[in-house]
Structure 1
Amino acid sequence: MKKNIIYTLVALALITIVVIRLINNKHTTQNRVYHYNKEKAINVQAISLTFKKVKNDISFPGTFEPNKETRISSDIQGKINSVLVDVGSIVRKGEALIQLDNSLLKLQLQSVEIQIEGLDADVKRYTVLANADAIQGVQLEKSVLGLKSAKVQRATLMEQINKTTIVAPFGGIVTAKLTEEGSFAAPGVPLLQITDISVLKFTVNVSEQELSQFKTNQIYSLYADVYPEALLSGKVIMTGSKANMGNSYPIQFSVNNTTDLKIKSGMFGQVQLKNDNNQQHIIIPASSIVGTNIKPQVYIVKDGKAILQNIIILSRFQNMALISSGLTEGDVIITNGFINLYDGANVLISN
C-alpha cells in the first residue's frame, strides 16, 4: 500500500516538473518571437500623380516562329542508300533529300514489263483469230484483262519506285538530320526536319484593353531585338479569341524575312504602335502595381494610411503603365516599401 502511494507521488511530481518546464519554454519562445506592431507607421516611398503625355511609341514583345516546319518520313519501308543533304543545307521544293534502295522494285518492274509485252502480243494475235472465228471470244477477253492487270501492277511499282526518292515538300533549311546511310526507313519514322524561315510568324500577347489596337490584315512595324535597325512589316493574320493562362490574347503576324534570312526562329522582337494620341493620361511605374493581371491594384495614401485601390490598365510600355481608370491627378501612390504593407496600414512617406 505504501509503495503505491510513493509511486503515485513520484508520478505526480514528474508531471508537475514537465508542466512547469513546458510553461517556461512557452514564455521563452514568446519572448524571442518578434511581435509586429500594427500601429507603427511603415516607411514607404510614394509619388504624386499628374497628367502626362505618352511620348514614346508603345511596343509589345513577342517571338519569331517559322512559317513552315515539318519532319519528313518515308511513305514506304526500305534501306537508306544515301542522304543527299546535311544540317544547314538550303533546299528547294521537290529537291531530292534521301534515296532508298529500289533495286528489287526495279527488277519486279522489268518482270512486269516482260509480261505486258507478251500479253500485248497475245491480245493482238487473239484479236485477229477471234475476228476470223478461229478461237472463242473468251480467250481474247482473258488476254485483255490480263494486260490491264499487268499495266496496273506496273503503275503500282513505278509509284513505289518514285517514293524511294524522298523530296522536299517545300523550300527551306534542313534543321535536323535524324538518320544516316545504311539505316532503315519506315512510315512514320522521322528522317529529316525542314524549316522555312523566308516567311516568319511573330506572336505577341496583349491584354484585353490592348486587343482593340490590332486589326486583322493591317500592317504594323516590328523588329528583332538583336537587329533593331532592320525594320520589318508584319500583317496581322490572327487575333486570339480566347485568353491564355495569363489572361492575355495572342496576336499573330506574318512577316517576310530579310533577303539574307538573318531573323531566326526563336528570336525575340518588338511590334511598335505609333502614339498619335495627344491626350494626357495618368502614367505610373509598373513596379508600383500589386494584385494580379486580372485585378491590378495600387496602394494610395489617404490620411496617413495605405489604401488598396483597383485600377484598369490601358496599356504597358517599357517599365510604365498607362491607367484608364481608378486613379486621378493628385493621388499619391506608393512605389516602394511593400514589405509588411497591408490595406489600412499606417505609413510614413520618406522620399
Structure 2
Amino acid sequence: MFRNNDASVTAGWLVVALLLAAGCGQSEQPPRSGEAPSVTAVQPALQLAMIEVKTSQVPVTVEVTGQVTAVYQATLASRIQGTIDNLLVREGSVVRKGQTLLVLDNRDLQAELSRVTAELDNAKAHQTRMEDLYRKDAVSKQELENATRGLRVAEAARKAVLAQLSYTIVKAPFDGVITEKKVEIGELASPGQPLLKMEDPEQLRLEATVAESDVRVVSVGSPVPVVIDALGADPLKGKVSQILPAGDPQTHTFTMKVDLPRTSGLKSGMFGRLRLEKGMSTTLLLPKSAFIERGELASLFVVGSDRVARLRWVKIGRTLEQGVEVLSGVDAGERVIVDGAKGRDGALVQDMTAVASPPQAP
C-alpha cells in the first residue's frame, strides 16, 4: 500500500519536470540556420541641420515705457459764475478754432450793459456840451476836464461789461476734438471750474521718463523707434522734440517727449515703448527655432564630437532681429540642432547642413 503511494508521487514529479522542460524549450529556442543571434535594435541616426554657436555684435538697447499724449490739449474753464444755458458739444465732437462750445446765462450782464451804455451816452452828451461852453468861455477848463474824465470812466465801464459778456461764451482755442464733458445744461459754473477738455488728435507724441544715465545717448531731433503695443510690433519713426532741462531728484529721471507720425488708430492714452541705442556688445545668438521653451525655461540640443544629441538647459535674453540672445548654458564653437523640436536626447545625429546647402560656384 505504501509502495503504490510512493510510485504515484514519483510519477507526478516526473510530469511536472517534463512540463517545465517543455516551457523552457519554447521560450529559449536556438536560432535557425543562417540567422544571427537576436540583439537590441540600433536606432537610425537623426538627419537634422545643425549650426555652430558663434559670437555676434548686437546693439545695446534700452527700452523705456511711456504714454501717448496730444501736443495740443486744453481744459476749458469758466471765468465767471453763471448757469449753463446752452451746451453745443459732447464727447467726440470735432470742433474748429473759434467755434462756440458752451454758453452761460447772460441776462444779468445784458441788463448791466444797457445801464452802462446809457451812462456812456450821458457822459458823451455832457462832454460835448462842456466843450461848447468852454469855447464860449462859459465854463472853466477844470469843468471840461472833469467831463472828459467822466466820459472815459463810462467808456471803461462799458468795456468791462462787454468783457464779462464775452466770458459767457466758451469757444474752441484750436481745431480738435472734445475728449471730456464735465457739466450739463442747467448746472452752475463757478470761476475756474473745468467745463470741457479737448485735444488735437492729429499731433501726438510719447512722453516717457528716462534715466539720467540714458539721456546722454539722444538729443533733440534724434530719430527714435517707438512701438505702440495696440498697433502691433512694427515701430513708428519718432523724433525727440523736447527733453526737459530739470530732472526728478528723487528718481533721477528726465521727461522726454517724442513726436509721432500721423498713424491710423493711434490715440492719446495708449501705452508705448521707445528704444534707445547705447552702442554695441558681443553676445551669442541662435535662431529661435533652436530653442524649446517651457514657460520661463528654455533648452536646446547640443551635439558633441560623438554625434550624440544632449538636451541642455540655457538662459536666454533679448529677442533680436538676428536671433535670440543666449546668456549662459552654451559656449561658442559648440554645435546645436537648428530645429530643436525634432531633437531627441541621446540620439545619434547626422549633420544635414552641408547636404541641404546649395553647391558653391567654382
- TM-score w.r.t. the length of structure 2 is 0.57
User: Following TM superposition, by how much is the alpha carbon of 1:276 offset from its aligned partner in structure 2, in angstroms?
Assistant: 9.6
Aligned twin of 1:173: 177
| Deviation of 1:177 (Å) | 0.9
Q: Where in structure 2 are the equivalents of 1:19-34 lying within 5 Å?
A: none
1:252 lines up with 2:254 in the alignment: no
Cα distance in structure 1, aligned partners of 2:155 and 2:94: 38
Change (3 A) 1:127 1:212: closer
CA contact (8 A) 2:70 2:204 kept: yes
Q: Give the partner amino acid of 1:214.
A: V
| 8 A contact 1:54–1:275 mirrored in 2 | no
* Maintained 8 Å contact 1:57/1:273: yes
In the alignment, is the contact (CA less than 8 A) between 2:87 and 2:185 conserved in 1?
Answer: yes
Name the SS for the 1:94 alignment partner.
Answer: coil
Matched, 1:262 2:270: no
Alignment check: 8 A CA contact 1:60 1:317 kept = no
1:77/1:184 contact within 8 Å kept: yes
Instruction: Please say if residues 316 and 322 of structure 1, whose CA atoms lie closer than 8 Å, have aligned partners that are also in contact.
Output: no
For residue 127 of structure 1, report the CA deviation from its aligned partner. Answer: 1.3
For residues 320 and 65 of structure 1, the distance between their equivalents in structure 2, rounded to whole angstroms, comes to: 33
The code of the aligned residue for 1:266 comes to G
The one-letter code of the counterpart of 1:176 is E
Structure 1 pair 109–203 and aligned structure 2 pair: CA distance change class (3 A): closer
Residues 259-311 of structure 1: per-residue CA shift (max 9 Å, x gap): xx62111212344578996x7435799x79xxxxxxxxxxxxxxxxxxxxxxx
Aligned AA (1:70): A
Q: 1:129 to 1:238 in 2, by over 3 A?
A: closer
1:1-351 aligned within 5 A: 51-54=55-58, 61-204=65-208, 211-228=215-232, 232-239=236-243, 242=247, 251-258=256-263, 262-271=265-274, 280-281=282-283
In structure 1, C-alpha distance between the alignment counterparts of 2:252 and 2:126, rounded to whole Å: 76
Mapped contact 2:67–2:269 kept (Cα < 8 A): yes
> What's the CA shift for 1:191?
1.1
Check conservation: 1:58, 1:316, Cα contact below 8 A.
no
Answer whether contact 2:217 2:278 (CA < 8 A) is retained.
no
Counterparts of 1:114 and 1:58 in 2: how far apart (Å)?
Answer: 70
Q: Deviations over 1:106-148 (max 9, x none)?
A: 2221222222222212222221112112233333222212111
- The CA deviation at 1:88 is 0.7
Q: 1:46 matched to which residue of 2?
A: none
Aligned mates of 1:223, 1:213 — CA distance in 2:
19
2-side partners of 1:282 and 1:206: how far apart?
28
Compared CA separation, residues 120 and 321, structure 1 to 2 (3 A): farther
Q: Identify unmatched segments of 5+ residues in structure 1.
A: 1-48, 289-312, 331-351
Distance 1:116 1:211, change over 3 A: closer
Distance (Å, rounded) in 1 between the aligned partners of 2:152 and 2:262: 52
User: Do the aligned partners of 2:109 and 2:161 also contact (CA within 8 Å) in 1?
Assistant: yes
Q: Residues 316, 62 of structure 1: CA spacing in aligned structure 2 closer, same or farther, 3 A cutoff?
A: farther
Contact 1:74 1:187 in 2 (8 A): yes
Secondary structure of the corresponding residue to residue 104 of structure 1: helix
Provide the secondary structure at the position in 2 that maps to 1:79. Answer: strand
How many angstroms does 1:320 deviate by?
Answer: 6.7
Amino acid at match of 2:185: E
The aligned length equals 254
- How well do the aligned residues superpose, as a CA RMSD in angstroms? 4.4
Instruction: Give the 3-state SS of the residue equivalent to 1:233 in structure 2.
Output: strand
Shift of 1:249: 5.8
Partner amino acid, structure 2, of 1:195: E
How far, CA to CA, are the matches of 1:223 and 1:61 in structure 2? Answer: 9
Are the structure 2 counterparts of residues 111 and 70 from structure 1 closer, same or farther at C-alpha, using a change threshold of 3 Å?
same
C-alpha contact (below 8 Å) 2:226/2:236 kept by paired residues: yes
Distance 1:140 1:55, change over 3 A: closer
Q: What is the TM-score of this pair, normalised by structure 1?
A: 0.59
Gaps of 5+ in 2: 1-52, 298-316, 333-362
Instruction: Compute the displacement of 1:54 (Å).
Output: 3.4
Q: Residue by residue, what CA displacement relative to the aligned partner does 1:179-202 show, whole Å, maximum 9, x if unpaired?
A: 111111111211111133322221
Aligned-partner SS, 2:200: strand
Could you tell me how far apart the structure 1 residues matched to 2:248 and 2:150 are?
Answer: 63
1:54 alignment partner, SS class: strand
Deviations 1:59-91 (A, max 9, x none): 655431222333221011111101111011122
Tell me if the contact between 1:58 and 1:317 (Cα under 8 Å) persists in the aligned partners. no
For residues 241 and 111 of structure 2, the distance between their equivalents in structure 1, rounded to whole angstroms, comes to 51
- In structure 2, distance between residues paired with 1:282 and 1:248: 32
